[in-house]
Amino acid sequence: WHQAGCLFPFFRNHAIQHSRQQEPWQFGPAPLAAIRGAIRTRYRLLPSLYQCFFAHWRNGDPIIRPLLYHYNGPEYVHLDDQYLVGDTLLVAPILHGEGQGPEIIRHGVKMQERPVRLPP
């Protein structure tokens, strides 16, 4: 969940009192490395996120956007496994198992594809 959510505007790991511990180091070495990679990815992309926050403040544009916000067509209506951060970064997280992730909708979308694999 850290990898899938590291580009959300509000990103934190927390739990309620007397619940299961959720500190990153509680999960062991391999998950800790993946969480660390997600956090580092977020920090590398902070300038882009700050631009999105500025655009939101200035124009009211949402920071996290469904593709339907920018692109028309029935293929975008029920697309719930990928989203845009601002108008330039398409995020399509792998949510189940070791799959290849969702099929990226390309029709009518001008994009430069560059997959980013976070550490396992």
Residue 87 lies in a domain: yes
Element holding 50 (H helix, E strand): helix 46-59
Residue 26 lies in a domain: yes
Number of domains in the chain: 1
Confidence band (pLDDT; 50, 70, 90) for 104?
low
Predicted pLDDT at 103: 56
Predicted pLDDT at 109: 47
Q: What percent of the chain has pLDDT over 90?
A: 20
Instruction: Tell me the backbone φ, ψ of residue 91, rounded to 5 degrees.
Output: -115, 125
Residue 52 lies in a domain: yes
Predicted pLDDT at 51: 94
Query: In this structure, what token pair is assigned to residue 73?
Result: 């067509």
Q: Residue 41 maps to which CATH number?
A: 2.60.40
pTM above 0.95, yes or no: no
25 Cα distance to chain centroid: 22
Residue 43 lies in a domain: yes
On the question of pLDDT at 33 being above 90, the answer is: no
Planar angle of CA 22, 26, 29, nearest 5 degrees: 130
With 0-12 / 13-18 / 19 or more C-beta atoms within 10 angstroms meaning exposed / middle / buried, residue 41 is middle
Mean pLDDT of the chain: 78
Instruction: Give the separation between CA 73 and CA 66, rounded to whole angstroms.
Output: 12
- Domain that includes residue 56, residue range: 2-9+21-91
Residue 98 lies in a domain: no
Residue 116 lies in a domain: no
On the question of pLDDT at 26 being above 80, the answer is: no
Predicted pLDDT at 63: 94
Residue 14 lies in a domain: no
Predicted pLDDT at 71: 82
Instruction: Give the separation between CA 24 and CA 15, rounded to whole angstroms.
Output: 12
